[in-house]
Amino acid sequence: MRHIPVIVVAGTHSGCGKTTLASGLMAALATRGLAVQPFKVGPDFIDPTHHSAICGRTSRNLDPFMMGEAGVRETFVRACAGADIAVVEGVMGLYDGLEGTDVASTAHVAKILDAPVLLVVDAGGASRSVHAMVRGYAGFDPDVRVAGAIFNRIGSSRHLAMIKETESLPIYGGIPRREDLAVESRHLGLAMAAETGAMAGFGAVAEEACDIDGIIDLARSAPPLPPPAEAMARPGAGVRIGVANDAAFCFYYADNLDHLAGAGAELVFFSPMADRLPGVDALYLGGGYPELHAEALSSSRCREDVRRAVDAGMPVYAECGGLVYLTERLATGEGDYPMVGALPAATEMTGRIQALGYVEARVVGAAPVLAPGSAFRGHEFHYSHLDCAPDARFALELLRGRGIDGGRDGLTAHNAVGQYTHAYFPEGFAETLVRAAGAYRRS
Instruction: Give the CA distances from residue 416 to residues 287, 371, 436, in Å, rounded to whole numbers and listed in that order.
Output: 16, 13, 11
CA–CA dist 437, 181 (Å, integer): 46
Same domain, 395 and 260: yes
Same domain, 152 and 31: yes
- Give a yes or no: residue 12 inside a domain: yes
What is the C-alpha R_g of the chain?
A: 23
pLDDT tens digits for 4-55?
Answer: 999 999 999 999 999 999 999 999 999 999 999 999 999 999 999 999 999 9
In 3D, which of 398, 318, 407 has the Cα closest to residue 361? 398
- By the 8 A CB rule, do 306 and 265 touch? no
Same domain, 296 and 422: yes
Same domain, 303 and 349: yes
Instruction: Give the CA distances from residue 398 to residues 359, 401, 406, in Å, rounded to whole numbers and listed in that order.
Output: 7, 6, 9
Same domain, 148 and 100: yes
Residue range 372-396: mean pLDDT, rounded: 97
Same domain, 274 and 325: yes
To the query of whether residue 320 is one of the catalytic residues in this protein, the response is: yes
- Give a yes or no: residue 348 inside a domain: yes
- Give a yes or no: residue 234 inside a domain: no
Hey, what's the torsion of the CAs at 253, 66, 425, 38, to 10 degrees?
Answer: 30
Neighbouring-strand partners of residue 423: 378
Sequence-separated (6 or more) residues with CB below 8 Å from residue 353: 381, 382, 383
Same domain, 267 and 185: no
User: So what's the pLDDT on residue 423?
Assistant: 98
Same domain, 145 and 282: no
- Give a yes or no: residue 227 inside a domain: no
pLDDT tens digits for 202-256?
Answer: 899 999 999 999 999 999 999 999 887 776 656 667 999 999 999 999 999 999 9
User: So what's the pLDDT on residue 366?
Assistant: 86
- Give a yes or no: residue 272 inside a domain: yes
Domain boundaries, position 425:
239-442
In 3D, which of 135, 141, 70, 65 has the Cα closest to residue 97? 65
Kindly report the CATH number assigned to the domain that includes residue 436: 3.40.50.880
pLDDT tens digits for 173-206?
Answer: 999 987 665 545 444 444 544 545 556 678 999 9
Catalytic, out of 210, 302, 320, 388:
320
Q: Do strands 117-122 and 146-154 pair parallel, antiparallel, or not at all (unpaired)?
A: parallel
- Give a yes or no: residue 229 inside a domain: no
CA–CA dist 352, 373 (Å, integer): 33
Q: How many domains does the chain have?
A: 2
Same domain, 207 and 245: no
Same domain, 199 and 278: no
